[in-house]
Amino acid sequence: MAVYLTIPGVTDSEELVSYDLRQTNVVDITLHSGPTGVWLFDAAAQGTYVPLMVLTVEGMGIVALDDVVVSSGYVSSGATELMTFSLNANAIRSV
């Protein structure tokens, strides 16, 4: 099942390797390294407030994350460089 991340003004459809609703209003996402990951690292470092992020889950629907702060991020080392981020949302809703 494919999952895509949309951040208005940043990316329209970034394919995720995985996502996990870890706690209430906290989502962990993993993606391949690239411009979106760099943007998310910068957002985490600067405490950037993001009004809306959207996860599109094929076959399941759309999940909107409102008022998001990227709380952490790290890069895994290995054959494929993956970037993982924790997103803290004020609200998470199915659309």
Q: What digits encode the pLDDT tens for the residues 5-51?
A: 999 999 999 999 999 988 789 999 999 999 999 999 999 999 999 99
Assess whether pLDDT exceeds 80 at residue 80.
no
Q: Band the pLDDT of 75: cuts 50, 70, 90.
A: confident
Of 5, 29, 34, which is closest to residue 88 (Cα–Cα)?
29
User: How far is residue 11 from each of residues 5, 23, 33, 34, 55, measured CA to CA in Å?
Assistant: 8, 25, 14, 11, 12
- Range(s) of the domain holding residue 27: 3-94
Tokens for 18, please give them: 């995985």
Q: What digits encode the pLDDT tens for the residues 57-71?
A: 998 899 999 999 999
pTM: 0.91
Give the count of domains, the chain: 1
CATH of residue 13: 2.30.110.20
